Amino acid sequence: MIEARKLTKRYGDKVAVDGVSFTIPAGTVTGFLGPNGAGKSTTMRMVVGLDRPTSGSVTVNGAHYRHHRSPLREVGALLDAGAAHPGRSARSHLRALAASHRIPRGRVDEVIEMTGLGPVAHRRVRSFSLGMGQRLGIAVALLGDPRTLILDEPVNGLDPEGVTWVRTLVRQLAAEGRTVLLSSHLMSEMAMTADQLLVIGRGRIIAAGPVQDVIDSATGAVVVVRSPRVGELGSRLEGAGAAVERADDGGLRVRGSSVEAVGELAAREGIALHELRHQRASLEEAYLNLTGSAVEYRSTTTTTETPR
Ligand SMILES: Nc1ncnc2c1ncn2[C@@H]1O[C@H](COP(=O)(O)OP(=O)(O)OP(=O)(O)O)[C@@H](O)[C@H]1O
């Protein structure tokens, strides 16, 4: 479990993390989302004691990182995949880390196996591709068999097979009761991987909760309904306080109601329905709605502009 209370980090005048409080429970994968510069890496660095909070606090498994007697067994982190010495082989890098943290040598072979690094474990890190470097970073995070894992952009640079592997791995780690905090800019991947989300913008939490709840509250739940008596159904729904929009295909898009309420109203009125479903927005739409005003580094052209 990770608990942050009014966690704040300033760099000079810049407030990178601004009084955030959150709890990341064990047994879940929590996705950490936010635009570039929002404060994700800084928050993660404070969790593992690489940055000192200006004020507030953050604990892992009930204690501050620096107070844990065997920190690598409590929390494993992938924060900078390029952190290994370029002249060392992956295996010797892992062995050196294991020795300095009193982790048995056998664990090195286990994490090499788990991360698929076997065929390249003897090669110098200098010759590693981005994806191999990511796998080595994940192997380092797993070395102490920690109860909590913090992975900053673990799928960055991985091929589709690697992306699927990370998803399966983190799901398995959470199923074993571990705490997983994971950042990524790949929304579709995050939607498949995370149980819950923490969304940060300009150093502040702007949404938190189960993935579907965050999507619904950011986009508004929409019910799609089709009926041969669509006009009458629309007026009845409006009479019941819903906002109704006619879709291009002749159906209705209803906000401010639910699938159950629409179905029951139609039954009461004796109106036949040909379709009734909840239209789910994507995490990407929800994310863009949530962070629209929190983006610091925006390009000047957008793909949503209509050509004239
Ligand atoms: N060592 C530092 N000195 C000064 N400012 C810093 C330092 N580290 C981070 N910042 C600033 O703090 C803010 C938060 O940065 P951070 O790296 O935590 O964002 P992030 O959400 O991880 O972004 P990204 O998605 O681009 O990795 C940014 O404005 C950044 O420029």
Point out which residues pair with 179 in neighbouring strands.
Answer: 148
* Mean pLDDT computed over 11-21: 95
Hey, which of 18, 41, 43 would you mutate to test ligand 1's pocket, going by the most ligand atoms within 8 Å of its Cβ?
41
* Mean pLDDT computed over 16-24: 96
| Higher-scoring residue by pLDDT: 308, 287 | 287
Q: How many residues does the chain have?
A: 308
Residue 243 phi/psi, 5° resolution?
-95, 125
37 pocket-lining for ligand 1 (C-beta < 6 Å): yes
- Give the separation between CA 31 and CA 181, rounded to whole angstroms: 6
ipTM: 0.96
| Residue type, position 116, single letter | G
14 pocket-lining for ligand 1 (C-beta < 6 Å): yes
Sorted by where each begins, the domain ranges of the chain are 2-210, 221-279
User: Which pLDDT score is estimated for 296?
Assistant: 64
- Give the separation between CA 5 and CA 48, rounded to whole angstroms: 15
Give the domain 2-210 fold: Rossmann fold (3.40.50)
Q: From the CA of 222, how far away is ligand 1's center (Å)?
A: 36
Task: Specify the pTM.
Answer: 0.84
DSSP state of 142: H
Q: Are 34 and 40 in contact (CB under 8 A)?
A: yes
pLDDT at 117 over 80: yes
Matching CATH topology for 2-210 and 221-279? no
CATH top-level class of 221-279:
alpha beta
172 pocket-lining for ligand 1 (C-beta < 6 Å): no
Q: Are 237 and 244 in contact (CB under 8 A)?
A: yes
- Give the separation between CA 110 and CA 140, rounded to whole angstroms: 11
pLDDT at 63 over 90: yes
The two structure tokens encoding residue 72: 């690598």
Point out which residues pair with 255 in neighbouring strands.
Answer: 222, 243
Q: How many other C-beta atoms are found inside a 10 Å radius of the C-beta of residue 28? A: 19
66 pocket-lining for ligand 1 (C-beta < 6 Å): no
Q: From the CA of 202, how far away is ligand 1's center (Å)?
A: 10
